[in-house]
Chain A
Amino acid sequence: MTPEPDRPGAGDPLPIVAPIVQAPWSADFVAQTLEVFLVCRPAAGGLVNLRPIHAPSLRLGMAVGREPGELVLAAVARYELRPIVVHSTSWRSEPGRILLSYVAVVEAPASPSPFLVAEPIGRVDLARGDATAAPAAIATTQVLEHALRHLSWLVRDDPAVAAALDAWRPDLEAYVPEPFRNL
């Protein structure tokens, strides 16, 4: 194919001269918030979400330049919990911010922090969007469901997680996603 001389870029399969987004890069523009799900497995059985008593999930402002994994570990320590696995599991957008969700698997505390409530984790359907669009609404329970499915995959695929969560295998078995259910 011969490019047409009067049309710049004509003939290029993928011109890249046009900006993809109009917003300038700026530290003020990158709004970041961490969401941390503290999950444990008590001796009595079942998985438990250690939720902050006054919020659906723990959210932490993340200043630009901070390492998210370190902030998650610091939060775990503030509740005097012992981490077993810390893993980023999903992200989503909310007005004015990007929310990065972590699951922090912790040892079941002998006496939980008074700032946390231990809630048994039930199963919920995942939030589903279109092929090219995010779901219209995502509940925190759905983010946690996704996180546990993620752990279910990691315990099979990641040697470090497999070793750390060996005792969790029976509980995570149930979180294997149904393949291609919505496709």
Chain B
Amino acid sequence: MKEVTCLCGWQCRGTLDEVVDQVVRHGREVHGIESTREEILALAVDVPAAGARPDDART
């Protein structure tokens, strides 16, 4: 699974294609910029799949 964080704080997660689609739409609709697939791939981070949970933690 991939994750991208925009400079504005917005985040998205999903498969590579899902993330590319969401980032392109976010950039266009919120910031008025166009992003290429290559630019998005350079920013995307591998993250664990949804559902993976730590067994225990505390603050």
Contacts and interface: CB of A to CB of B under 8 A. Distances in A.
Interface of A: 21-23, 28-31, 33, 51-64, 78-79, 90-93, 95-98, 113, 115, 127, 129, 133-135, 138
B9 A93 contact: no
A138 B47 CA distance: 23
A59 B9 contact: yes
How large, as a class, is the contact surface on chain B?
20 to 34
Contacts, number: 91
Given A62-B45, A63-B45, A96-B48, A52 B7 contact: yes
B58 A129 contact: yes
B59 A55 contact: no
Interface of B: 3-11, 30, 45-59
B28 to A, nearest CB: 15
Contact of A61 (B3, B49, B57, B59): B3
A63 B3 CA distance: 10
Contact of B45 (A51, A61, A127): A61
Given A61-B45, A134-B58, A138-B59, 15 more contacts: A21-B55, A29-B52, A31-B54, A51-B9, A52-B8, A52-B9, A54-B6, A54-B30, A55-B9, A56-B9, A61-B47, A96-B51, A129-B58, A133-B58, A135-B59
A31 B55 contact: no
A162 to B, nearest CB: 26
Contact of B47 (A31, A93, A133): A31
Q: Which of A28, A54, A129 has the most CB of B within 10 A?
A: A54
B59 A79 contact: no
A21 B6 CA distance: 36
A115 B8 contact: yes
B9 A63 contact: no
A90 B59 contact: yes
A61 B8 CA distance: 15
Contacts of B5: 58-61
B9 A58 contact: yes
Contact of B57 (A33, A59, A64, A93): A93
B54 A28 contact: no
